[in-house]
């Protein structure tokens, strides 16, 4: 079990790093990592890798991501979730058609501010550390693509919706924007990540990394030992010579190379895929 890739399900109320420590103890492994931090109050899909497979995270099909969220309309919190509810406004229930209209209006490309309680870095410091220290700072707006946003259930003042969003999106901010369009503040009372790209939870089943790489394949027409031994490579020896990042598999050994105007560069060299 030196190398392994699988999907775990993080429970609510646990920091992602603490959940990873629990996974490492259960599988008795020393080197492990995860991709896509979940907020402590959130639950759901977390991609886990052991050993050398931790090098694969940046090459995996991890987007778009789908979440199921419950928005507490009228609840104000600086964290945009239930961690620090400061005030709750009362209002009459909304017509279901109004709720559906607002959710549909969120679809498409959207520019917005990330939550101040987030892992975004500001001059080297994490935003949530600055926020907890009551420091004044500004975050840069980000742009996300929302592919789908639809109603699951509405029991006033709680609105449950599912959203499919591009990499790096913040559902807490989207929830606050939905509440704002309804004329009130709002914070998430629950958040579950259902999938990250092609990754879904299947009882921690071991996955074949080749099925999840977000890279086109290429063939090396020269001596295979050039790649296996990490020698300098020539563009002319590749079947596909267009600029781009490619996966090369030789005898169950994976390498990732980038072809550019400057030549060929290894991004990952000779990772064994054998169990």
- C-beta of residue 94 within 8 angstroms of C-beta of residue 100: no
Share of the chain above pLDDT 70, in %: 99
The per-residue pLDDT for 17 is: 94
CA–CA separation, 143 vs 200, rounded Å? 25
The per-residue pLDDT for 212 is: 97
> Is the model more confident about 102 or about 40?
102
Please work out, in degrees rounded to the nearest 5, the angle formed at the alpha carbon of residue 14 by the alpha carbons of 11 and 15.
125
- C-beta of residue 213 within 8 angstroms of C-beta of residue 60: yes
Least Cα distance to 48 among 26, 67, 66, 74 occurs for 26
For residue 210, name the pLDDT band (cuts at 50, 70, 90): very high
- Work out the number of other CB atoms within 10 angstroms of the CB of residue 124: 5
Would you say residue 1 has pLDDT above 80?
no
For residue 274, name the pLDDT band (cuts at 50, 70, 90): confident
Share of the chain above pLDDT 90, in %: 89
The per-residue pLDDT for 125 is: 87
pLDDT in tens, 15-50: 999 999 999 999 999 999 999 989 889 999 999 999
Would you say residue 121 has pLDDT above 90?
no
pLDDT in tens, 130-172: 988 989 899 999 999 999 999 999 999 999 999 999 999 999 9
For residue 2, name the pLDDT band (cuts at 50, 70, 90): confident
Taking residues 41-69, report their average pLDDT. 97
Give the alpha-carbon dihedral of 144, 148, 152, 158, to 10 degrees.
Answer: 20
For residue 225, name the pLDDT band (cuts at 50, 70, 90): very high
The per-residue pLDDT for 275 is: 64
Show which residues are catalytic: 39
- C-beta of residue 35 within 8 angstroms of C-beta of residue 62: yes
Taking residues 48-70, report their average pLDDT. 97
CA dist 271 → 56, 136, 139, 274 (Å): 10, 45, 38, 9
Among 118-127, 148-157, 249-258, whose mean pLDDT is lowest? 118-127
Mean pLDDT (the chain, rounded): 95
The per-residue pLDDT for 75 is: 98
Would you say residue 120 has pLDDT above 90?
no
- C-beta of residue 164 within 8 angstroms of C-beta of residue 60: no
User: How many H-runs (helices) and E-runs (strands) does the chain carry?
Assistant: 5, 15
Would you say residue 180 has pLDDT above 90?
yes
Query: Class for domain 67-196, per CATH?
Result: alpha beta
Among 17-21, 134-138, 181-185, 221-225, whose mean pLDDT is lowest? 134-138
Please report, for the chain, the start and end positions of each structural domain, with discontinuous segments joined by +.
4-62, 67-196, 224-272
**In angstroms, how far is CA 95 from the centroid of its own chain?**
33
CA–CA separation, 173 vs 187, rounded Å? 9
């Amino acid at each position: 079990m030196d190398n392994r890739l699988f999907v775990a399900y993080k429970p609510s109320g646990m920091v992602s790093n603490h959940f990873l420590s629990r996974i490492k103890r259960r599988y008795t492994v020393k080197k492990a990592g995860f991709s896509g931090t979940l907020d402590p109050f959130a639950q759901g899909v977390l991609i886990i890798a052991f050993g050398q497979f931790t090098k694969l995270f940046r090459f995996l099909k991890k987007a778009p991501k789908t979440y199921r969220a419950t928005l507490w309309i009228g609840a104000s919190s600086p964290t945009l979730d239930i961690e620090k509810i400061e005030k709750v406004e009362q209002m009459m229930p909304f017509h279901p058609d109004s709720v559906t209209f607002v959710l549909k209006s969120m679809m498409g490309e959207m520019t917005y501010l990330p939550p101040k309680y987030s892992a975004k870095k500001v001059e080297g410091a994490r935003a949530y550390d600055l926020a907890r220290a009551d420091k004044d700072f500004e975050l840069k707006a980000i742009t996300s693509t929302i592919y789908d946003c639809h109603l699951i259930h509405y029991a006033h003042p709680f609105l449950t919706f599912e959203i499919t969003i591009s990499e790096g999106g913040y559902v807490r901010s989207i929830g606050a924007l939905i509440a704002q369009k309804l004329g009130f503040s709002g914070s998430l009372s629950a958040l579950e990540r259902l999938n990250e790209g092609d990754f879904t939870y299947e009882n921690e089943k071991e996955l074949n990394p080749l099925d999840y790489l977000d890279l086109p394949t290429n063939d090396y027409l020269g001596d295979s030992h050039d790649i296996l031994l990490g020698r300098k490579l020539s563009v002319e020896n590749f079947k596909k010579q267009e600029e781009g990042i490619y996966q090369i598999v030789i005898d169950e050994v994976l390498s990732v190379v980038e072809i550019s105007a400057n030549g060929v560069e290894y991004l990952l060299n000779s990772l064994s895929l054998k169990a």
